[in-house]
Amino acid sequence: MKPLDKKDLIILEELIKDGRISLSDLAEKIKLSVPATATRVEKLVHNGIIENFTVNIDFSLLVDGKPNLILIKTDLKKAESLANTLFKERFIKKIYFTTGKYNLLLLTHYITDSQKSQLLSVIQSFDEVQDIDVLWLYDDLKAKSELVVDDLKSMKIICDYCKREFSGEIFSKVIGNKKRYFCCNTCLTEFEKRFAKEE
């Protein structure tokens, strides 16, 4: 795949600001025809750069709670399986694998104190959890809707199935809670089959 160009970046920038921007407005910004603009947007969706079109909701107006960061120290070998188990908890929004004192960083949804206690007692019930720390995110500055791309990386990607480096069309799919990248549809299908067997 050709690396993205300036026009693609403008498309992404505009869509981050307003996901409802019309194709004709987008086309005007990048000085291309509407069909050509549509093709570019489709390509960005197809190769997985645009993951979905969604809304940002102000949860502080919806619920009483606040998001929390939960840090977990576990045996490095057990981090991935623990993460997959904890990911099933509905109050958890996102899990990061980290280096340093802790191996996992969990970001919760907006949750109340009692929901937090509930979640913590579930987490503490796992033997794999050696240590835990909780940060209550009590206030924040508004997130910026900006695209910060100073240097476009070359589109060299390792296929998650055949391990070949490729730069052509990307096939991506979330399998087992992780987004994977493949060089072709066959690799994607084979990976899925193997993954289902291992599960």
Three-class secondary structure of residue 1 per DSSP: coil
Q: Which is nearer to Zn ion, 18 or 169 (CB)?
A: 169
Three-class secondary structure of residue 172 per DSSP: strand
Read out DSSP for 66-128? B-EEEEEE--GGGHHHHHHHHTTSTTEEEEEE--SS-SEEEEE-SB-HHHHHHHHHHHHT-TT
Chain centre distance of CA 137: 20
Q: Which is nearer to Zn ion, 86 or 183 (CB)?
A: 183
Least Cβ distance, residue 159 to Zn ion (angstroms): 3
Of 27-35, 42-50, 57-65, 184-192: span binding Zn ion (CB under 5 A): 184-192
Residues that contact Zn ion, how many (by CB under 5 A): 5
Least Cβ distance, residue 139 to Zn ion (angstroms): 46
The reply on whether position 159 binds Zn ion by CB under 5 A is yes
Of 5-13, 41-49, 116-124, 159-167: span binding Zn ion (CB under 5 A): 159-167
Tokens at 115, concatenated? 């929901």
Which residues here bind Zn ion, judged by CB under 5 A? 159, 161-162, 183, 187
